[in-house]
Amino acid sequence: MNDLFLDIIKQLSKYDINMKENYQLYRNIQNKTPLQKKYKKFADNEFTYNIFEPKKKEYKETIIYIHGGGWVLGSTNFYSLLLHHLANELKRTIISIDYPLAPEHPFPEGFEYLYNAIKNLCFNSTKFSIDKENLIIMGDSAGANLATSICIKAKRKKDFKIAKEILLYPIVQTNFTNKNKYKSINQNGEDFFLSKKMINDYLELYINNKKDYKNKFVAPLYAKNLFNMPETLIITADLDPLRDEGYAYAKKLKRYFNKVTYYNMKGVIHGFFNNFFYFKENHHVLKIIKRFVGDKIE
């Protein structure tokens, strides 16, 4: 089944997808997905929190989830089936925060909104019934980029504390030219749907000021000080152009004496965790995540 799926992906990848011209079309398609689960909403100040409660809650940690989509696409509605399943599997409350999307809201608008939303969440931890000392932040792709960038800012500003971060196939740098030193960009940058061109389209939609291509909150791999980061789990996809930079980020975090766990999932493409074709692989990833957050795995 996976080989057939990859063949289909390779055929689709032959089409030139201009994300800069068609991002609104992709948003509309995502918004109409029938695979949605209901969840609670909680408004506080100018922020809205989307809350997924497990059927059986066994652990006090709250997971803050930041969705992917190249800073341009994605929403809690689109991710609701995954988040519903994740909350039940991890037996923890998951709070998803929708953030202002580019290009209407370029960097740093979405990033600052998320940071302040989490700050507000921690300030009102009693109201939300969360343990602010044991927060876990999790994200995929651009959501993972935002998650770890928030951790970098939080450790400096000390507005709140993130105990652990879970980064699924994160984008952590901004050079997607043929001169890039990361082999996976050229190895996987044409045939597996997420292409070099598409990534550059996302970056151009997200970043207005060219100087921000080197900003550590856009490209956390370029950060000069990564001491005292949360305990980190990074999972990459073997057929993903972002694979090698994810590994490089794991190595750099370790060089700054952080506790890091790294896995590369073989035979999967970018975005696999939100793809039902990878049922077996995602079952394995859930075990990795459970072990990382401290669950006993039978």
Burial state string for 63-102 with b = 16 or more CB within 10 A and e = fewer than 16: bbbbbbbbbbbbbbbbbbbbbbebbbbbbbbbbbbbbebb
| Dist CA 41 CA 81 (whole Å) | 16
pLDDT tens across the length of the chain (298 residues):
577 888 888 887 888 788 999 999 999 999 988 889 999 999 998 999 999 999 999 999 999 999 999 999 999 999 999 999 999 999 999 999 999 999 999 999 999 999 999 999 999 999 888 999 999 999 999 999 999 999 999 999 999 999 999 999 999 999 998 778 899 999 999 999 999 999 999 999 999 999 999 999 999 999 999 999 999 999 999 999 999 999 999 999 999 999 999 999 999 999 999 998 899 999 999 999 999 999 877 6
pTM over 0.75: yes
Nearest residue to 191 (alpha-carbon basis) of 122, 240, 128: 240
236 contacts 242 by C-beta, under 8 angstroms: yes
Domains of the chain: 2-293 (3.40.50.1820)
| Dist CA 39 CA 281 (whole Å) | 26
187 contacts 195 by C-beta, under 8 angstroms: no
Tokens describing residue 192: 């597996």
Tokens describing residue 241: 């152009």
